[in-house]
Structures are given as structure tokens and as C-alpha cells.
A and B are shown apart, each in its own frame.
Chain A
Amino acid sequence: MKKIIPGLLLFIILPFFLTSCWDIRDINNRAFVAAIGLDLPEDPTQKYQVTFQFWDPIKILRKNETNTITEKVEAQSINQAVELMQARLSKTITFTHLQLLLVGEDLARTKNFQDLANFFLKNSEIALKLRLNFIQGKTAYETLKSQPKLGKNITDKLIDMSQLEKKFSLPRTSAFYYFLSDLRKTEGTALGSRIVLPGEFLIRNGGAVFGDWKLKGFLSAEEAQAANWLVEDTQAIVVGSTPEGTYTYHSKISRLNMEITEMPNGLPKFTVNLKLIGSIVEEEGKHLDLSQSENIEKMEILFSQVIAEQVKNAIHKSQKEFGIDYLGFGKVLKEKRPKIYENIDWQKQFPHIPIEVSVKAQVKRFGLIK
């Protein structure tokens, strides 16, 4: 009896402690944020225009209907914006399902990205694998308000795009945390993802160039494809022309190596060695007999030259037009030859560093006809 009574008491008391105490929040009483958009405010006294896209639980099961609600507020900080938005809702704002962060061009150009990222890094509700895109020419609010071509909301569409297109060469794909990681490793230089909204529907391609923690410009789809040979494990469609015809090559990187040699003046010299394997997937003009090894060799030389030209253009853009090392040469130097890196002012020297390119494209297959 002496043991039964305390045991019973404990059994009665325990269920009261199993309700998560003060933190109990029913799923029906939560407003789940799917995406956040950050822009410059219209009101000059504020610092941010924050757009929240919430899941609309009632519409999730309905077909052919947008299942999100998009609202914006302006505030001095993102946390303050959350508070202001909370005043408009009957449910508690919850970030556990936040998947997407969009940043408008004007804000990205003026604000240090570390400041923008701070809210997301500090908040324990947010899973840091969220996607990040920078909007060229439009605001994050306009983008979140746009209609998806397929699917029921823009957030889902962008998440699907960034997952499926990991190996796709036209956009730069860099999730929030890895983008921030690149910035931290290089003192504010990185290549992020870009979105353009030319009409009613958005396009996700190209890249956003960051230097000194701020947006400095954008790369077009073609430029991003060229840059991706150096920064992504990419697969790309390459078109090469000869006087006889036009040939299309589907290639993927088999090996990328950056050799570094130290020059007498203490500066490094890079040699980019890129090896690719792929297939001839289309021919126009003179159709070659691809079962003949000399024709394969001809194609390999052609595509090696085309891709080498793309890589050189990407390097030229980075060194001469932007003067920003978003292709990651400094990162490789720091990893492989840290002493050289420490002894020079990399940001200042980068535009003058000699970089040679050597590309070897191999044709392994040619489809179902030769």
C-alpha cells in the first residue's frame, strides 16, 4: 500500500506534464509559412518589405485552385514584420515548413546578405535547407503573387524546379545555407540562383553574382551555363558547328581539376583541366558515320573547343567585367595552396591572375542511329 499510493499519484500527475506545457499548439491553430519574400520597402522609414506566403489548409485538397495566401508588411526588421503579420492572423505563424526565400534585386543590391540571413539562422523553427533565389528586375512580392504554369502555387513550383534541375546547366542552383557558406568562405563572394519574371510566368535560369556581401549583377542563362562548368556538377547540351553541319552534344563532367603553380612574383597561375563524357544527340547538315573513330575524334575536338571557349568566356566575365571571383578560384587556392592565398590580396589580384583552360570532351555514345 505504501508503494501503491505514491505510484498512483504519480500516474495521475504525469499526464498533466505530457501536454508540452506552455508550448502546446494545435496544428489547426497554426499558419504555416511556405515562402518568404524580402524587398526594399515603399515606406522610406522602414527597412524591409516582407512577403509571407502561407499554406491555405482548406484549399490544399481542392483541385485547380491556388492553395496559398500571400500577404506583405513593412517593418524595421524581419522579426518585427512577423509580429505585424501576426496581428492580422488568428493562427500562430509557424516556420517549420518554410521552404523558399526570395530576395528582390533592389534589396539584394543594397543590403549585406549576412544581415538578411541572420533571422533565418537564429530561428530554430527554420530548416536551413530552404531554397534561395534572387529576383532580377522585379520584387519578391510580385514573384510570389505570380501564377505557376503547372501546379497550384509558386513555392511548390520553385522547389520542384530546384530539385529536378540540380544537374541542369542553365540555372545556378545554390540553396540558402550553401550560398551563405560560399559567402563566408570567400569574404562575401558567391554565385546564387536567379529568377526572372518576363511576363506572367517566371523563369528560373542564370545566376546572381555577389561581391562584398551584396548583389553586383546577374548572369544570363548562357553565361550561367558557361560558369556552371566550373561551379556545378553539371550536365549540359552543347551545340557545335562546322562548315558541314551542326551537332549537339549532351555532356557531363567526368573530372574537373584546377592546377596551381606559383609564379616568380608570388602570384598563382591556374590551369583548368576539364574532362567531359557524353553523347552526340542530334545532327544537322552532313550526318556523320559515327561508327568511324575518325568522325568521333572530329566531334571530340569540336566540342572540346566549343566548351573551352565557353569556360574562357565565363572566366573573362568574372575577371574583366565583374572583377569578382564568383567561380571559386580563390576558394581552391585557399584549399590547395593556403600560403600563397595568405600572402596576397586575392580580391585585388584576381582580375590579373593568368588562367589557362584545357578541355577534353569524349564522345561515348551517339544514340540509336549512327
Chain B
Amino acid sequence: MLGIILIVAIIEVDFATFPRHVVNIAGETAWLSMLIGAALVIITLVILIKLASLFPRDNFFTYCSKVWGKPIGTLINIGYLVFWFLFVSILLQDTANMNQGIFLPTTPSMIPLILILIAVIYLVAYGITNVIRLYQLLLPFIVLPLILVVVLMIRSIDLTNYLPFLSNGILPVFKGALVFLGAFQGLEIILFVAPFVTNINKAYLPAILSILFLMSLLLGIGSGSIGIMGVENIRETVLPSITMLSLIELPGFPVERFGLLLTLPVILGIFSSLAVYIYLISFALIDFFKIERRKTVISIVAVLSLIIIYFIPDLTWTMKLREILIHLTLLFILVIPLLTLISAKIRGQGELK
């Protein structure tokens, strides 16, 4: 179950843009950054499960205050809420930009967002169990097109696009690896859904296998984009993965526009990521303020996220905020959980002490 949640929650708009973020730093050797980044994702995953397994019956908000004390704990919890709000708003803004740019250029950008959010509110109101059930249904529709994309790419790769190797030394490669790690929000969900997992101690292997599978796909798409487009083009392109697919050609094959293969994973990825984050924000607020009207809180959270995007002036700002979000992600998926784990271990807190 945890594996499914992670795959579906992590995939969103960013898998169409992450090659640009990594290439901007590591250049032609970005594939190595992605490889190291994938290893960092696994290490982060292990840290998160380790922390969750110390407090298997609580979510992070509950035990954060126990570990850090009330003032710092509250501050960290508010930090997570702000981070998620920011993420949801940027995701909505990215969706609006994508709709305007590719799918529905003349439709007012708010209409598709409102429709998506109505469905999200409806889903989230019935709780995490229903969200997970839906994820199980969505998984093949997200993953199968991505597998097909990777297979299609292989034929068009030009190996000279990976040269020169390490032209700027190893440091940009490691920086690129951190950017790769930060490009995928969603790992921190483990800390909040752990109480719903039957035995979190047994979740290591399935979670690692799921993430390994997802990382293989992303590595395929990321390094394949470099091999097909070359770094000079990726740096110039807003959505490199989609552009890369419009270059793939199979003469005589009835399908011409392979870029459309990413439409379904992108839309479903956006929907599932929104669902899980709106769930997390809403239920954190419900728990914190002991509110009974769940649907009202969920609706307010959705509307607030939508309102925030009015404060993002243009595409340039969305791109800047995405980059800020990458750095914030490192803080919230790795730094804070790691420090919490160390602190809990030193103080001998948690059920397994």
C-alpha cells in the first residue's frame, strides 16, 4: 500500500520538468546526478520509514512536539503546512500553465482547476482509505504510459549528447543529485500515513522496491531526454520531457504525436498529488483545531490554494517558485526528519526503545 501511495503521490508535473533543473547544474553529466539522486531518494526513504517506525501509531505532527518540545514542534508543524500550501498552489499554477500552453489554450484556466478540485474535495472527504483505493485504480494508467515512453525513447538516443563527461568536475554532479532529490515532493507522506500501515517495520522492502521502480522510470526519462535533445536544448525548454516525446519518430507507425502519451500520467499525477496534499493539510487543521465539519475545512483549503495562485503573477514566477520549492523540499523530506530521528534516538523516544 505504501509503495502505491508513494508512486502515485510523487508523480506530478515535475517529471516533465526535472531534466531541466538537473541539466542546468550538472550539464551533460546530469545522468550521473540522477543516478546519485536516485540513491539519495532511497536513503531518504529509509530514514523516513525508520522515523515512522519509532512512532508507528502517531503521525509526525503528534510526535514532533514530543521530540522537539512544544514551541519548536509547533513551528515545524506550521512549516509543513505552509510548505504543502505552497506546493499545492504551485502545482495548481503549473496545471493552469500547462492547460493554457498545451491542452486547453482558450479555456479560462480556472475552469479545469475548479473541476479537478471539486473531484478532489469529494474524494478527500471520504478519508485516506478511499484516496488509497483510488490510487490503486490509477496506478496502471500512470505507470504503463511511462514505461512505454521509456521504451520508445531508446531508439532515438544519441550517446554523444552525454559528452563531455564531468567537464566541470564532480561538485555540480552532487549538487544536481540534491536537485533531483528535491524535485520530487511526496516522500514525507510516509510520516503521516504510517499509522494507517499495518506494520510499518515490514514496509521497507515494498517501499524501496516501489521507489526503485519509479526511479528507474524517471532515470530513463531524464537521461533519455538528455540523449535525445542534448543539454543545450533542454536548458531552453520549459517542459523537456514532453518536447522530447514530440521528437520521437517511428516511420510507418500510425501514431505520430507521442507527446500525448504523457497527458494521462500528468493529469492523473496532478489529481492524485492534489488529493493527498489537500488531505494532509485539511486533516492536520481538523486535528489541530478539533473541527467537526470535515467537508467545510477541505473545501476552504482547496479554495485557499486556488486563491494563492492569483498572487503568482506569471510563468517566470512559477518557475522561480518551483526552484525555491526544490530547496524547501530537501528541508522537509530530509533535513527535518533526519534531525528528528537523531533527536528521538538520543533521547530514547519512540515505541521501540
- Write the residues of chain A forming the contact surface with B, with a CB cutoff of 8 angstroms: 17, 20-23, 96, 121, 124, 127-129, 163, 177, 180-181, 184-185, 331, 334-336, 338
Q: Which chain B residues numbered 279 to 331 have a C-beta less than 8 Å away from chain A?
A: none
| Binding-face segment, B55-63, B101-109, B138-146 | B101-109
**B104 near A23 (CB under 8 angstroms)?**
yes
Q: Which chain B residues numbered 234 to 263 have a C-beta less than 8 Å away from chain A?
A: 236, 243, 246-249, 251, 256-257, 259
- Write the residues of chain B forming the contact surface with A, with a CB cutoff of 8 angstroms: 101-108, 111-112, 115, 160, 163-164, 167, 229-230, 232-233, 236, 243, 246-249, 251, 256-257, 259
Known: A22-B108, A177-B233. A127 touches B246 (CB 8 A): yes
**C-alpha spacing A163/B167, complex, angstroms:** 35
B108 neighbours in A (Cβ, 8 Å): 21-22
A163 neighbours in B (Cβ, 8 Å): 251
**B107 near A20 (CB under 8 angstroms)?**
yes
| Residue from B107, B164, B246 in contact with A21 in the complex, judged by beta carbons closer than 8 Å | B107
Q: Which of A20, A121, A128 lies at the interface centre, i.e. has the most chain B CB atoms within 10 A of its CB?
A: A128
**B111 near A21 (CB under 8 angstroms)?**
yes
B167 neighbours in A (Cβ, 8 Å): 338
Minimum C-beta distance from B47 to chain A (A): 37
| Residue from A21, A177, A181, A336 in contact with B163 in the complex, judged by beta carbons closer than 8 Å | A336
B104 neighbours in A (Cβ, 8 Å): 20-23
Interface of B, helix, strand, loop or mixed by DSSP = loop
**B164 near A336 (CB under 8 angstroms)?**
yes
A17 neighbours in B (Cβ, 8 Å): 115
A336 neighbours in B (Cβ, 8 Å): 163-164
**B106 near A181 (CB under 8 angstroms)?**
no
Chain B residue at smallest Cβ distance from A334? B164
**C-alpha spacing A20/B232, complex, angstroms:** 35
| Residue from A121, A127, A177, A185 in contact with B259 in the complex, judged by beta carbons closer than 8 Å | A127
Known: A23-B107, A128-B246, A129-B249. A335 touches B160 (CB 8 A): yes
| Residue from B105, B160, B246, B257 in contact with A23 in the complex, judged by beta carbons closer than 8 Å | B105
**B101 near A128 (CB under 8 angstroms)?**
no
Known: A21-B111, A129-B247, A338-B167. A124 touches B102 (CB 8 A): yes
**C-alpha spacing A20/B256, complex, angstroms:** 22
Knowing that A22-B107, A185-B230 are A-B contacts, what are 6 other residue pairs whose CB atoms are under 8 Å apart, sorted by A's residue number?
A22-B104, A23-B107, A124-B101, A177-B233, A335-B163, A336-B163
B251 neighbours in A (Cβ, 8 Å): 163
**A96 near B257 (CB under 8 angstroms)?**
yes
Minimum C-beta distance from A137 to chain B (A): 30
Interface pairs (8), CB distance under 8 Å = A21-B104, A21-B112, A23-B106, A127-B257, A177-B229, A180-B233, A185-B232, A335-B160
Q: Which of A124, A331, A338 lies at the interface centre, i.e. has the most chain B CB atoms within 10 A of its CB?
A: A124
